[in-house]
Structure 1
Amino acid sequence: MKFLFRLSFVVLCVFFYQCDDAPKKKEISKKENLKSEKIIEKDTIAIDEEKKWNTINSSNTEDFLLAYGKENPETKVIIKTKFGNIKIRLFEDVPAHRASFIYLTKNEYFNTTVIYRVAKNFVIQGGNSDNYLTVEERTKHGNYLIKPEFKKHRIHKYGSLAAAREWDNNPNKLSNPFEFYVVQNKKGAPHLDNQHTVFGEVFEGFDTMTKISKVEVGADDWPMDEIPITVEILE
């Protein structure tokens, strides 16, 4: 009888111990989960912060380009077409535009585009296409705009490279980094000074420019036969 009483007492103790311990286990588990959530949240913030500076966007454009320019000092590029090559020197005193062109070149954005406008005796314009891949690439690289970097000595002379921009609803004259043009008129285009940022100049390939200027064009000066381009870094 004593044995049965002791056995019952032990069973009850174990039962009450387990019941009392269960909430503690749940509490510990809850604390561990909260701790895990905080770690994940912290890691997510770190990843988002890193992503913010690994890609350019409308909120970090200037800082990103200036930092990128310091790490990527190249100033010469080559535009390859079926009519020949055009070699261009980028100016260092327009740092954001130079860095942007190098950034897009290294990320091969321009290789999805064409020379989409040949305005006779005026300009040759590239950096766009009717290819959906071009739109995807623009979105991928931020679809940002650049503040103008006008310089008195950077004028629209023959062979000048400049950034295209929207004229409507763009009072700050922000540049479209994806589209560029080269002045093909030998007298230059002085009416565009302080309207578009000049950020480079052709130093070789003027004969190629002449060949391109003679192609047949249709509506909006778009060449009848497509002129794909690739842009590469020279030095």
Structure 2
Amino acid sequence: MKSPFYILCLLTILVSCKENKDNSTKESEVDKDTIAEKIEVNIPSNGRTDKDLSEIKFLEQEELIPFLKKYGKENPESVVDIETDFGTFTIELFPEPVLHRANFLRLVKLDYFDTAVFHRVDSNFVIQGGNSDRMATHEFRKAIGDYLIPNEFTQKYPHDYGAVSAAKYAEQNVSNASSPFEFFVVTKPNGAYHLDGDHTVFGRVIKGMEVVEKIDDLETDASEWPLKNVGMEMKVVR
């Protein structure tokens, strides 16, 4: 049985073509005054490490755009390896979705994703990662910030097979703003173009799509959560 934290924090992408299907819930509100000074973070591939969260800047909506634009200029990297229990795949981050690229890169460098799992698998459609029912993930979110990223979708980057796109709140989100913490990879062979405009594509898989397909084949429970957790560890390549 999933923990109450799973019920509070699971963000699912809005899928307009699937009727009567909405697995998303709202993330609990961030308490800015209760950021853990230090927690133990379990990294699936490398065992255990300590991560001090007290030095992470808490980012609020009002300062989001200037902060991420500045961060993006100071951190120009665009290629990230995602190591999983099934192998490693590599993604390229696109430059035009400036805020999404900077936010994703920031989370990679903060090691946030190393606490998370691929928590949703909808075979031949998407695999989604960036959440978990671990307290480490919950504490990381509280430390990182309370914000949504404005939609940056462009027709230049549609939801092709292998596209990397941002998840979002499914309700009360008329601007289609993105969750800062969760992403998905399109596994539908002929693309998922009905998601264009509703979600921001900010990258693509450039190597290891066979690893993504292995995750896509996993058995899941009724909520599309894999029966066996698939952890991840991300590393900036260049």
Q: TM-score, normalised by structure 2?
A: 0.75
Offset of residue 56 of structure 1: 2.0
Report the 3-state secondary structure (helix = DSSP H, G, I; strand = E; otherwise coil) of the residue aligned with 2:189. coil
The structure whose residues are more often strand, as a share, is: 2
The equivalent residue for 2:127 is 124
Distance 1:82 1:167 in 2: 29
Offset of residue 55 of structure 1: 4.0
Report the 3-state secondary structure (helix = DSSP H, G, I; strand = E; otherwise coil) of the residue aligned with 1:220. coil
Offset of residue 54 of structure 1: 4.7
8 A Cα contact 2:117 2:130, kept in partner: yes
Offset of residue 177 of structure 1: 1.3
Distance 1:90 1:109 in 2: 17
1:80 aligns to 2:88 (yes or no): no
Distance 2:57 2:116 in 1: 24
Distance 2:168 2:129 in 1: 12
1:58 aligns to 2:58 (yes or no): no
Distance 1:143 1:135 in 2: 12
1:134 aligns to 2:145 (yes or no): no
Deviations 1:10-48 (A, max 9, x none): xxxxxxxxxxxxxxxxxxxxxxxxxxxxxxxxxxxxxxx
The equivalent residue for 1:161 is 164
Distance 2:58 2:224 in 1: 34
8 A Cα contact 2:92 2:205, kept in partner: yes
The equivalent residue for 1:212 is 215
Amino acid at match of 1:160: A
The equivalent residue for 1:114 is 117
Distance 1:78 1:98 in 2: 15
Cα distance change of structure 1 residues 115 and 153 upon mapping to structure 2, 3 Å threshold: same
Distance 1:100 1:91 in 2: 12
Offset of residue 219 of structure 1: 1.9
Correspondence for 2:151 among 148, 153, 167: 148
8 A Cα contact 2:57 2:144, kept in partner: no
Report the 3-state secondary structure (helix = DSSP H, G, I; strand = E; otherwise coil) of the residue aligned with 1:65. helix
1:101 aligns to 2:126 (yes or no): no
The equivalent residue for 2:37 is none
Give every structure 1 segment of 4 or more consecutive aligned residues whose post-TM-superposition deviation is greater than 6 Å.
Answer: none
Amino acid at match of 2:104: F
Q: TM-score, normalised by structure 1?
A: 0.76
Report the 3-state secondary structure (helix = DSSP H, G, I; strand = E; otherwise coil) of the residue aligned with 1:232. strand
What are the ranges of 5 or more consecutive residues in structure 2 without an aligned counterpart? 1-55
The equivalent residue for 1:177 is 180
Distance 1:111 1:144 in 2: 21
Q: How many positions carry a matched residue from both structures?
A: 184
Distance 2:148 2:201 in 1: 15
Amino acid at match of 1:77: V
Report the 3-state secondary structure (helix = DSSP H, G, I; strand = E; otherwise coil) of the residue aligned with 1:216. coil
Which has the higher Rg, Structure 1 or Structure 2?
Answer: 1
Report the 3-state secondary structure (helix = DSSP H, G, I; strand = E; otherwise coil) of the residue aligned with 2:67. helix
Distance 1:212 1:167 in 2: 24
Amino acid at match of 2:85: K
Amino acid at match of 2:217: K
Offset of residue 232 of structure 1: 1.1
% of aligned pairs identical? 43
Distance 1:117 1:167 in 2: 15
The equivalent residue for 1:192 is 195
What are the ranges of 5 or more consecutive residues in structure 1 without an aligned counterpart? 1-52
